[in-house]
Structure 1
Amino acid sequence: MNSHKEFLKVFPVFSIGMGFILMLVCILADAQTFASNELRWAENRKLSWQDFTGTVDPIRNANVQAVAKVAIDLTTKAENDTVWFEVQSSFIKNGSWTINRTSDYLLQHEQLHFDIAELHARKLRKRLGELRGLTFSNLRQKVHAVYQDLQKQHENFQQRYDAETNHSNNQRMQSVWNSKVEQLLIQWENYNDPLVHNTIR
């Protein structure tokens, strides 16, 4: 079969709660080079306050001390009888801001938003690797459907996190969520490789 590539780019942005912005990005194209203001999730690279380079929202809620902006990026390349998916979770520096650069506790709350993005990136990798009946004609539709479903799951999960922790103000629930997300990342560890492939007809 001849080499074939599809292109689709979607940038929906959602405002989650009061202290988090979710940007879920779906790119069906050749691999893109990340801009210098984006950090890819890595187990041994935690966020620091220096990563929050965005401008503080002048009309922010008085209870909000920080906002983290994260993204899930999907790059897809289809060639011959194989389709490759690269799924990355990233932190957008210039879209994230804080008025408190001393609280390790608050920083951990924002880190968990990033970890939740990685958790859903792993779920997306699994879903894409298990897609069946892919053809060049239905690739765009099938990938987009999976993306939309995952997008909603991610959005709901992030909203629930901020609601149950009251944006980190509920310390008991923050501790519960810290443990919960840590365990979920371990459960989905088999999907920590950004690259996954599938067969296309």
Structure 2
Amino acid sequence: MYPTIIRLSFMILYFVLPAGECHAQDTLWWKKEERLRWEDFQGFPDTTEVFEALTYAGISFSYSYTGNSFTFKAATYFNRAKSWRLPIADSGKLRHEQLHFDITEIFTRRLIVQLGQLKPEKASVQQTISALLKDVLAEKDRFQHYYDQETHYGTRPAEQKKWEKRVADLLQTD
């Protein structure tokens, strides 16, 4: 619905996908106890790019408004078929990519909290949700960009370690 594309040293795509448009065999849903593996990156590498990996992660979102009842679902996913890596990508790069997936989960949770606080009017529900999604996605994009800048795309081990702790802490509190 609202595509947001960030092009970095690793190309990362984020967007909001209506629920039900993910193919089960290509989709990993974010779970605390599960970590990405290079085997999950099943797409074909774009060898014309300078990127070592591409993570295709996003937020699956749907809602309904019936009578005076507003309900919604949101979840973070990783698309295996559209995510890829080059053979030179190492375990440090995988940890960096995992954090991008984890950061997307943080913002999915923030979206859920903000949606839970909404009391939208039927006439303006689409505009209200659209504005909220736009704000959350913009905040997520800034956060992802800052992460890449500070870690220099995962090539600064000390900074990467600080971000791993920061993201783990946020996942505990959000």
TM-score (normalised: structure 2): 0.92
Match of 2:20 in 1: 32
Does the residue aligned with 1:87 lie in a helix, a strand or coil?
strand
Match of 1:83 in 2: 70
Q: Which runs of 5+ in 1 are unaligned?
A: 1-9, 189-201
**1:47 is the counterpart of 2:36:** yes
Higher relative contact order (CA 8 A, sep 6+): 1
1:104 Cα deviation (Å)? Answer: 2.4
Does the residue aligned with 2:108 lie in a helix, a strand or coil?
helix
Closer/same/farther in 2, CA of residues 131 and 26 from structure 1, 3 Å limit: farther
1:130 to 117, 126, 134: 117
User: Over aligned residues, Cα RMSD in angstroms?
Assistant: 1.7
1:72 Cα deviation (Å)? Answer: 1.1
1:141 to 111, 127, 132: 127
Match of 1:70 in 2: 57
**1:98 is the counterpart of 2:85:** yes
Given residue 116 of structure 2, which amino acid in structure 1 is its aligned partner?
G
Mapped contact 1:165–1:171 kept (Cα < 8 A): yes
Does the residue aligned with 1:88 lie in a helix, a strand or coil?
strand
1:170 Cα deviation (Å)? Answer: 0.5
Mapped contact 1:53–1:97 kept (Cα < 8 A): yes
**1:56 is the counterpart of 2:59:** no
Given residue 120 of structure 1, which amino acid in structure 2 is its aligned partner?
F
Mapped contact 1:16–1:158 kept (Cα < 8 A): no
Match of 1:112 in 2: 99
Point out the more displaced range, 15-24 or 69-78: 15-24
Mapped contact 1:21–1:69 kept (Cα < 8 A): yes
Given residue 115 of structure 2, which amino acid in structure 1 is its aligned partner?
L
1:149 Cα deviation (Å)? Answer: 0.4
Match of 1:177 in 2: 163
Closer/same/farther in 2, CA of residues 153 and 54 from structure 1, 3 Å limit: same
Does the residue aligned with 1:90 lie in a helix, a strand or coil?
strand
Match of 2:13 in 1: 22
- The whole-number CA distance in structure 2 between the counterparts of 1:101 and 1:50 is 14
Q: Deviations over 1:164-188 (max 9, x none)?
A: 1111111110000000000001110
Higher helix share: 2
1:33 Cα deviation (Å)? Answer: 5.7
Does the residue aligned with 1:94 lie in a helix, a strand or coil?
coil
Q: Deviations over 1:74-129 (max 9, x none)?
A: 11022222111111111111221111377322211111110000000000001111
Mapped contact 1:47–1:107 kept (Cα < 8 A): yes
1:157 Cα deviation (Å)? Answer: 0.9
Query: What is the aligned length?
Result: 173
Mapped contact 2:52–2:88 kept (Cα < 8 A): no
Given residue 38 of structure 1, which amino acid in structure 2 is its aligned partner?
T
TM-score (normalised: structure 1): 0.80
Does the residue aligned with 1:95 lie in a helix, a strand or coil?
coil
